[in-house]
């Protein structure tokens, strides 16, 4: 390979290296919703589980939304963590009477960081059991 080609190759490598940034890029928060193993959802009854959220830039809010297929159970709640970076909190939601066995329930937990990134986790369950 000639000197001209080696210089051109070295220039391209230097250009490519200049485009990389050694700093990590901010990303969305970590969020995980888990339903309690072995817990049967009854009507009336409750949905039990836990919510884990983490963000290295800080947690702004946690929004829990619940929706059943028959629309008898619709609701949402917003939480603010006492720890600005990481939290684990219980998920407890009351299920009204009159829902049929097998009615699907969707639980969505959406976490927003202080810098505006958001992430969500969704679990599915049913009255009379869980369908993860």
Q: Is 50 a domain residue?
A: yes
pLDDT digits (tens, 9 = 90+) for 1-26: 555 555 555 556 655 555 555 777 88
Q: Is 9 a domain residue?
A: no
CATH number of the domain within which 113 lies: 2.60.40.150
Which tokens is 27 given? 């990303």
Q: Is 6 a domain residue?
A: no
pLDDT band at 123 (very low <50, low <70, confident <90, very high): very high
Q: Mean pLDDT across the stretch 41-61?
A: 96
Residue carrying the six token digits 């702004």: 60
Distance CA(111)–CA(20), nearest Å, equals 29
Indicate the pTM of the whole model: 0.79
Q: Is 70 a domain residue?
A: yes
The pLDDT, as a whole number, for residue 11 is: 59
Element (H or E) spanning 8, and its range? helix 3-18
Q: Is 4 a domain residue?
A: no
For residue 74, what are the domain limits?
A: 23-130
How many domains are there within the chain? 1
Which tokens is 47 given? 């949905």
């Amino acid at each position: 390979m000639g000197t001209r080609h080696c210089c051109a190759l070295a220039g391209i490598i230097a250009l490519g290296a200049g485009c990389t940034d050694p700093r990590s890029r901010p990303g969305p928060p970590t969020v995980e919703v888990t339903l309690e193993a072995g817990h049967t959802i009854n009507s009336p009854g409750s949905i039990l589980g836990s919510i884990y959220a983490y963000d290295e830039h800080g947690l702004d809010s946690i929004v829990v939304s619940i929706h059943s297929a028959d629309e008898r159970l619709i609701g949402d709640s917003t939480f603010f963590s006492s720890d600005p970076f990481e939290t684990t909190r219980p998920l407890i939601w009351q299920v009204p009477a009159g829902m049929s066995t097998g009615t699907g329930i969707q639980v969505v937990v959406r976490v927003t960081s202080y810098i505006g990134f958001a992430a969500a986790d969704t679990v599915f369950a049913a009255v009379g059991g869980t369908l993860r």
